[in-house]
Chain A
Amino acid sequence: MISALAIMALGAIILGAALGFASIKFKVHGNPLVEKIEGLLPQTQCGQCGYPGCHPYAEAIAKGEAEINLCPPGGEEGVRKLADLLGREVKPLDAEEKPKQVAVIDENTCIGCTLCIQACPVDAIVGAAKQMHTIVAPLCTGCELCLPPCPVECIRMEPIAENIDNWKWKYPVVEIKAAPLKQAA
């Protein structure tokens, strides 16, 4: 009787110790769901969702505080992917879907105030105080955060034009043609 109790107690202690060790050793840092959600977000860091960046928005979605349709750069497809991941219902986007764009600085007007450099979340603007600034177009995410701080309104957004490098084959469409009309007898 006592030996049986002792065995059970010993087993409990060993397993408890193993579990305790595992909970420390294999502790998951951060919420893995947040990372998955963040992977689906376009990382423009534009704040159009109302959160200061893609990571905070991902956290809010993971907590169930935010809707999944608040990300305009992600578009309808982004909403669909988030819905797939989270098992939520697809909702129409809570904003207009815009074509991809990049910021362009009118270099003649730029006064070199560095305000846009501070505003750019992805370090896509180069320049220095009282020197002309310019956008590194391949790095620009089109977040529009540089537009409001500019005191001389020399930044404008331009849609990315199709060129040979980013051109895509179109989805094959079967043309439905009307059969040639037969001449009435």
Chain B
Amino acid sequence: MLMNLFKFKGGVKPPTNKTQSVTLPIATAPIPPRLVVPLHQSIGGTPRPVVQAGDKVLKGQLIGEADGRISAAVHAPTSGTVVEVAMHVQPHPSGLDALCVVIAPDGKDEWIARATVDYQSLTPEEVRARLQQAGVVGLGGAVFPSHGKLTASKTVPMDELVINGAECEPFMTCDDVLMRERGEEIVHGAGIFRNLLQVKKVLIGIEDNKPEAVTAMRAAVKAAEEDFEVIAVPTRYPAGGAKQLIRVLTGKEVPASKRSTDLGVQCFNVATAYTAWRALAHGEPVVSRIVTVTGNVQAPRNYEVLIGAPMDELLKLAKPHPDTDGIIMGGPMMGFLVPDHAAPVVKATNCLIAHSPTLFPPKPPEMPCIRCGECARACPHELQPFEMYWFSRAKNFGKTQEYAIFDCIECGCCSYVCPSRIPLVQYFRFAKSEIWAREREKQAAEGAKSRFEFKQLREEREKADKAEKLAKAAAAQAAKKAAEALAAAGASNAAPVAEPSPAAAGAAEAAKKAVIEAAMERAKAQRAAIQPKNVDHLPPAVEQEIAEIDARHAQALGTADTPSGGGEKNR
């Protein structure tokens, strides 16, 4: 099975440091005393909590319902009681809080009823819905909901499915051990993806520094009687980037602002395929994942960890050396220092590295850029980092976009090779988040403007409607008066109306007068209704008295018309 491999431009070869953590098989981490499960663990909408404090939950029970099409459900990682649904610190470079479900485990680890289905009997829509309900997301680190990537393109025939087992980040071995120990389930998962996408070929790409994984996967493919190709690709960072691996395996280069599906290729991580199989064939949602715990520790190892377990407790299992002063989540190239060590393990947590000044010596200070072009040579996306750096530094964000800053995958190759030790990726991240913020502001301003204009339009329309209504009412009144006047004239004179136009004019005038009179009458009536509050709702005796007084008053004045009773109260 000789295959012609392609190359991607750039890349670096940092020391891999992977052997430390693969000596031991996957261990199951003990259930911690408290699990803090963030609701927002994937790209897209934040799931809505469906449990309350005090609820009993079972392992695998839904606690966060997917919100929208691009969003994935969240489940209870073990059985226990919900302590609270509250804001807790997140494994995020900001160290800010987000909504989490806190669970106190009961230690029984009791599963919810697991329904196993034969996915081949389901329609593709049902399979995708099941994957979303099981919270299957990309476990390579980007945590994009997988069901959103599993719709076959209507315009382009799908040629290849790439299963990404390259794992190019140094220190990280979670995918390596998963392929060694659970290869067959990965192959079954890849089979689900193949059936959904209707691809012709399935390529499993693994870096050639993991020969055991390659052998294990080949055996698994044979055991599953599939025709997948397991291909060892040259070890070079970032060979595990989706676009890079697609380039190496298929020779297809995904253009800027296009998706790989436009070229008939789709890419999934091995752990994603594994969880998809567990979700469909075993009815187990994503409640745990394999995490490499390594770095400045005595016993680096891979653990199967429940989502929501605190990082510091997990790190303790690997016995960190006393000079450990931080935890890096992710690899040393793309990861970040976790601001709070109590932050929980989430679906994106593939590796925790104990940080120490000896293992990662502090970077010497940044020097001026000498335009050597090393960063451009190392960039796997063929960008010009030095140009983007100038403009990011000068906050000239329009120019950074001209140099395609949004094609940067923040792999860190440029920072790694920079002889002036400029933290290039940090500048790019800064520029990107500024551009996003501006875009948000612009959209908000546009929305505000359109609503403001609509409100003005509406107010004017309401005014016009009111005026029209009044005019119509007046016209109707005028017509009525005119008709009455005409009828009266006809009855009294019994003579034919000789000149209709002056009569009509007179009638119109009379109608106008009548309208004004009617309005005044109404106003008077209104006033009358409001004014005599003190004589409203009186007992009949008092009313009688008032009537008598009124009668006397009328007599004294010598007027002919006496009040007809107690009804006339508006004097």
Contact = CB atoms under 8 A, between A and B. Distances in A.
Main secondary structure of the interface of B (DSSP, over half): helix
Nearest to B431: A169
Contact of B452 (A121, A167, A168, A172): A121
Contact of A121 (B423, B434, B455): B455
Interface in A71-126: 121-124
Given A168-B433, A169-B426, A169-B429, A45 B94 contact: no
A122 B436 CA distance: 23
A162 interface: yes
A168 B96 contact: no
Contact of B449 (A54, A166, A171): A54
B430 interface: yes
Given A42-B445, A54-B449, A174-B365, A164 B455 contact: no
Contact of A122 (B366, B430, B434, B452): B452
Q: Which of B98, B365, B423, B448 has the most CB of A within 10 A?
A: B448
B448 A167 contact: no
Interface string A142-182: 00000000000000000000111011111110111000000
Contacts of A122: 448, 451-452, 455
A42 B443 CA distance: 10
A140 B173 CA distance: 48
A14 interface: no
B24 interface: no
A172 B448 CA distance: 33
A164 B98 contact: yes
A106 B555 CA distance: 61
B564 to A, nearest CB: 40
Main secondary structure of the interface of A (DSSP, over half): loop
A32 B210 CA distance: 63
Interface in B500-545: none
Contact of B454 (A123, A163, A176): A123
Interface residues of A, number: 28
B430 A169 contact: yes
Contact of B448 (A141, A162, A174, A175): A141
B441 interface: yes
A176 B365 CA distance: 8
B462 to A, nearest CB: 11
A170 B430 contact: yes
A123 B430 CA distance: 34
Interface residues of B, number: 32
B447 interface: yes
B432 interface: yes
A164 B423 contact: no
Contacts of B429: 169
A43 interface: yes
B119 interface: no
Contacts of B444: 43, 138, 141
A8 interface: no
B390 interface: no
A19 interface: no
Contacts of B433: 167-169
A58 to B, nearest CB: 11
A137 to B, nearest CB: 12
A20 to B, nearest CB: 34
B426 A174 contact: no
A73 to B, nearest CB: 10
A44 interface: yes
A125 to B, nearest CB: 11
Contacts of B455: 121-123
Q: Which of A122, A123, A167, A176 has the most CB of B within 10 A?
A: A122
A42 B94 CA distance: 27
Q: Which of B97, B423, B455 has the most CB of A within 10 A?
A: B455
B382 interface: no
Interface string A22-59: 00000000000000001001111100000001100000
Contacts of B97: 163
A170 B426 CA distance: 8
A139 interface: yes
A135 to B, nearest CB: 14
Interface of B: 40, 90, 92-94, 96-98, 365-366, 423, 426-427, 429-430, 432-434, 436-437, 440-441, 444-449, 451-452, 454-455
28 contacts: A43-B445, A43-B446, A44-B448, A45-B448, A54-B452, A122-B448, A122-B452, A122-B455, A138-B444, A139-B451, A141-B448, A162-B94, A162-B96, A163-B96, A163-B97, A164-B90, A164-B94, A168-B433, A168-B437, A169-B426, A169-B432, A171-B430, A172-B366, A172-B423, A172-B426, A172-B430, A174-B366, A176-B365
State the 10 A-B residue pairs at the shortest beta-carbon distance, nearest first.
A43-B445, A168-B433, A169-B429, A172-B426, A167-B94, A43-B448, A43-B449, A122-B451, A169-B430, A169-B433
Interface of A: 38, 41-45, 53-54, 121-124, 138-139, 141, 162-164, 166-172, 174-176
Given A124-B451, A167-B433, 20 more contacts: A43-B444, A43-B445, A43-B448, A45-B452, A54-B449, A54-B452, A121-B455, A122-B448, A122-B451, A138-B444, A139-B451, A141-B444, A163-B96, A164-B98, A166-B440, A168-B430, A169-B93, A169-B426, A169-B432, A175-B365
